Structure 1
Amino acid sequence: MLILSCILIGIVLGFGAGKLAHSANQGILTDMGVGAIGAAIGGGAYSTFTITGAALYTTYSLLAAATGAVILLLVCHGVYYAITHSSDQTNPPKAH
Protein backbone atom coordinates (compact mmCIF):
# COMPACT_ATOMS: atom_id res chain seq x y z
CA MET A 1 0.00 0.00 0.00
CA LEU A 2 2.87 2.33 0.75
CA ILE A 3 4.36 1.93 -2.72
CA LEU A 4 1.01 2.89 -4.27
CA SER A 5 0.96 6.01 -2.12
CA CYS A 6 4.49 6.85 -3.23
CA ILE A 7 3.59 6.39 -6.88
CA LEU A 8 0.46 8.53 -6.47
CA ILE A 9 2.56 11.31 -4.91
CA GLY A 10 5.00 11.04 -7.82
CA ILE A 11 2.20 11.30 -10.38
CA VAL A 12 0.77 14.39 -8.69
CA LEU A 13 4.21 16.02 -8.42
CA GLY A 14 4.97 15.14 -12.03
CA PHE A 15 1.72 16.71 -13.17
CA GLY A 16 2.50 19.84 -11.17
CA ALA A 17 6.03 20.00 -12.55
CA GLY A 18 4.72 19.66 -16.09
CA LYS A 19 2.32 22.53 -15.55
CA LEU A 20 4.92 24.63 -13.75
CA ALA A 21 7.67 24.10 -16.32
CA HIS A 22 5.33 24.44 -19.30
CA SER A 23 7.01 21.39 -20.75
CA ALA A 24 5.00 21.12 -23.95
CA ASN A 25 7.89 19.32 -25.65
CA GLN A 26 8.29 16.61 -23.02
CA GLY A 27 4.64 16.21 -22.18
CA ILE A 28 2.62 15.97 -19.02
CA LEU A 29 2.41 12.16 -19.21
CA THR A 30 6.19 11.91 -19.38
CA ASP A 31 6.53 14.15 -16.33
CA MET A 32 3.95 12.09 -14.47
CA GLY A 33 5.80 8.88 -15.34
CA VAL A 34 9.16 10.31 -14.31
CA GLY A 35 7.61 11.57 -11.07
CA ALA A 36 6.16 8.14 -10.32
CA ILE A 37 9.50 6.43 -10.99
CA GLY A 38 11.38 8.95 -8.84
CA ALA A 39 8.87 8.56 -6.02
CA ALA A 40 9.12 4.78 -6.15
CA ILE A 41 12.91 5.01 -6.03
CA GLY A 42 12.87 7.52 -3.17
CA GLY A 43 10.26 5.67 -1.11
CA GLY A 44 11.89 2.31 -1.76
CA ALA A 45 15.33 3.58 -0.83
CA TYR A 46 14.01 5.09 2.38
CA SER A 47 12.17 1.94 3.40
CA THR A 48 15.23 -0.18 2.56
CA PHE A 49 17.69 1.82 4.63
CA THR A 50 15.55 2.59 7.69
CA ILE A 51 14.01 0.67 10.55
CA THR A 52 10.28 0.08 10.17
CA GLY A 53 7.87 0.80 12.94
CA ALA A 54 5.93 3.85 13.96
CA ALA A 55 3.40 5.92 12.04
CA LEU A 56 6.13 8.47 11.31
CA TYR A 57 7.72 5.80 9.16
CA THR A 58 4.94 6.25 6.62
CA THR A 59 5.13 10.03 6.78
CA TYR A 60 8.89 10.04 6.26
CA SER A 61 8.61 7.46 3.49
CA LEU A 62 6.15 9.66 1.63
CA LEU A 63 8.40 12.65 2.16
CA ALA A 64 11.31 10.64 0.77
CA ALA A 65 9.13 9.65 -2.18
CA ALA A 66 8.32 13.29 -2.88
CA THR A 67 12.01 14.18 -2.64
CA GLY A 68 12.94 11.38 -5.04
CA ALA A 69 10.29 12.52 -7.51
CA VAL A 70 11.45 16.14 -7.40
CA ILE A 71 15.13 15.21 -7.81
CA LEU A 72 14.47 12.92 -10.77
CA LEU A 73 12.20 15.51 -12.41
CA LEU A 74 14.87 18.20 -12.01
CA VAL A 75 17.53 15.92 -13.50
CA CYS A 76 15.33 14.94 -16.45
CA HIS A 77 14.32 18.53 -17.18
CA GLY A 78 17.96 19.63 -16.93
CA VAL A 79 19.15 16.92 -19.31
CA TYR A 80 16.31 17.68 -21.73
CA TYR A 81 17.15 21.41 -21.62
CA ALA A 82 20.84 20.72 -22.21
CA ILE A 83 20.12 18.47 -25.17
CA THR A 84 17.64 20.82 -26.82
CA HIS A 85 19.80 23.89 -26.34
CA SER A 86 23.13 22.32 -27.28
CA SER A 87 22.48 23.08 -30.95
CA ASP A 88 22.73 26.78 -30.12
CA GLN A 89 26.51 26.35 -29.94
CA THR A 90 26.95 25.11 -33.52
CA ASN A 91 27.86 28.59 -34.78
CA PRO A 92 29.53 30.39 -31.87
CA PRO A 93 30.31 34.08 -32.32
CA LYS A 94 33.77 34.85 -33.65
CA ALA A 95 36.27 36.39 -31.27
CA HIS A 96 37.79 39.69 -32.36
Structure 2
Amino acid sequence: MSLLAWIVLGLIAGFIGSKIANNTGQGLLVDILLGVVGAVVGGFLFNQFGQPGVSGVNLYSLVVAVVGAVVVLSIYHALMGRRRVL
Protein backbone atom coordinates (compact mmCIF):
# COMPACT_ATOMS: atom_id res chain seq x y z
CA MET A 1 0.00 0.00 0.00
CA SER A 2 1.19 3.50 -0.72
CA LEU A 3 1.83 6.07 1.99
CA LEU A 4 -1.22 8.08 0.91
CA ALA A 5 -3.42 4.97 1.18
CA TRP A 6 -2.11 4.31 4.73
CA ILE A 7 -2.86 7.92 5.70
CA VAL A 8 -6.38 7.80 4.26
CA LEU A 9 -7.12 4.43 5.87
CA GLY A 10 -5.55 5.64 9.12
CA LEU A 11 -7.64 8.82 9.14
CA ILE A 12 -10.89 6.96 8.60
CA ALA A 13 -10.04 4.19 11.06
CA GLY A 14 -8.77 6.64 13.68
CA PHE A 15 -11.91 8.79 13.40
CA ILE A 16 -14.27 5.80 13.63
CA GLY A 17 -12.21 4.28 16.45
CA SER A 18 -12.31 7.58 18.36
CA LYS A 19 -16.09 7.74 18.00
CA ILE A 20 -16.44 4.16 19.27
CA ALA A 21 -13.92 4.44 22.11
CA ASN A 22 -14.81 7.82 23.59
CA ASN A 23 -17.47 9.50 21.42
CA THR A 24 -15.17 12.37 20.33
CA GLY A 25 -12.32 12.70 17.91
CA GLN A 26 -8.82 13.35 19.19
CA GLY A 27 -7.91 15.82 16.45
CA LEU A 28 -6.82 15.28 12.87
CA LEU A 29 -3.16 14.39 13.46
CA VAL A 30 -3.82 12.21 16.50
CA ASP A 31 -6.66 10.42 14.67
CA ILE A 32 -4.36 9.70 11.71
CA LEU A 33 -1.52 8.55 13.96
CA LEU A 34 -3.74 6.31 16.11
CA GLY A 35 -5.48 4.99 13.00
CA VAL A 36 -2.21 4.00 11.31
CA VAL A 37 -0.89 2.47 14.54
CA GLY A 38 -4.29 0.80 14.95
CA ALA A 39 -4.06 -0.64 11.43
CA VAL A 40 -0.68 -2.18 12.28
CA VAL A 41 -1.94 -3.49 15.65
CA GLY A 42 -5.16 -4.77 14.07
CA GLY A 43 -3.19 -6.51 11.31
CA PHE A 44 -0.94 -8.13 13.92
CA LEU A 45 -3.89 -9.26 16.06
CA PHE A 46 -5.80 -10.65 13.09
CA ASN A 47 -2.69 -12.51 11.90
CA GLN A 48 -2.31 -14.05 15.38
CA PHE A 49 -5.84 -15.44 15.07
CA GLY A 50 -5.20 -16.85 11.59
CA GLN A 51 -6.93 -14.14 9.57
CA PRO A 52 -5.35 -11.85 6.98
CA GLY A 53 -4.42 -8.36 8.12
CA VAL A 54 -4.64 -5.10 6.21
CA SER A 55 -4.48 -5.88 2.50
CA GLY A 56 -5.31 -2.56 0.85
CA VAL A 57 -7.96 0.10 0.92
CA ASN A 58 -11.11 -1.99 1.20
CA LEU A 59 -13.88 -2.65 3.71
CA TYR A 60 -12.15 -5.63 5.35
CA SER A 61 -8.95 -3.65 5.91
CA LEU A 62 -10.99 -0.79 7.34
CA VAL A 63 -12.62 -3.17 9.84
CA VAL A 64 -9.20 -4.54 10.81
CA ALA A 65 -7.83 -1.00 11.23
CA VAL A 66 -10.84 0.14 13.27
CA VAL A 67 -10.53 -2.84 15.62
CA GLY A 68 -6.85 -2.04 16.05
CA ALA A 69 -7.59 1.67 16.57
CA VAL A 70 -10.13 0.86 19.29
CA VAL A 71 -7.54 -1.34 21.03
CA VAL A 72 -4.88 1.40 20.74
CA LEU A 73 -7.32 4.08 21.94
CA SER A 74 -8.39 1.95 24.90
CA ILE A 75 -4.76 1.55 25.93
CA TYR A 76 -4.13 5.26 25.30
CA HIS A 77 -7.05 6.31 27.52
CA ALA A 78 -6.09 3.80 30.23
CA LEU A 79 -2.55 5.18 30.35
CA MET A 80 -3.44 8.86 30.04
CA GLY A 81 -6.52 8.79 32.26
CA ARG A 82 -8.94 11.66 32.45
CA ARG A 83 -7.23 14.99 32.88
CA ARG A 84 -9.00 17.89 34.49
CA VAL A 85 -8.63 21.36 33.10
CA LEU A 86 -8.67 24.13 35.70
RMSD: 3.7
Greater helix content: 1
Partner of 1:73: 73
Question: Aligned AA for 2:30?
Answer: T
Aligned residue-pair number = 75
Instruction: In structure 2, list runs of 5 or more residues that go unmatched.
Output: 53-57
Partner of 1:94: none
Instruction: Indicate whether 1:21 and 2:24 are aligned.
Output: yes
Structure 1 CA distance for aligned equivalents of residues 13 and 62 of structure 2: 12
Question: Aligned AA for 1:21?
Answer: T
**Max Rg structure:** 1
Per-residue deviation, 1:38: 1.3
TM-score (norm 2): 0.52
Deviation sequence 1:50-90 (CA, Å, 0-9, x none): 166xxxxx8655433321111212331343333x24x99xx
Instruction: In structure 1, list runs of 5 or more residues that go unmatched.
Output: 53-57, 89-96
Cα distance change of structure 1 residues 9 and 70 upon mapping to structure 2, 3 Å threshold: farther
Structure 2 CA distance for aligned equivalents of residues 59 and 12 of structure 1: 11
Residues 46-61 of structure 1 mapped to structure 2, 5 A cutoff: 46-50=46-50
Partner of 2:45: 45
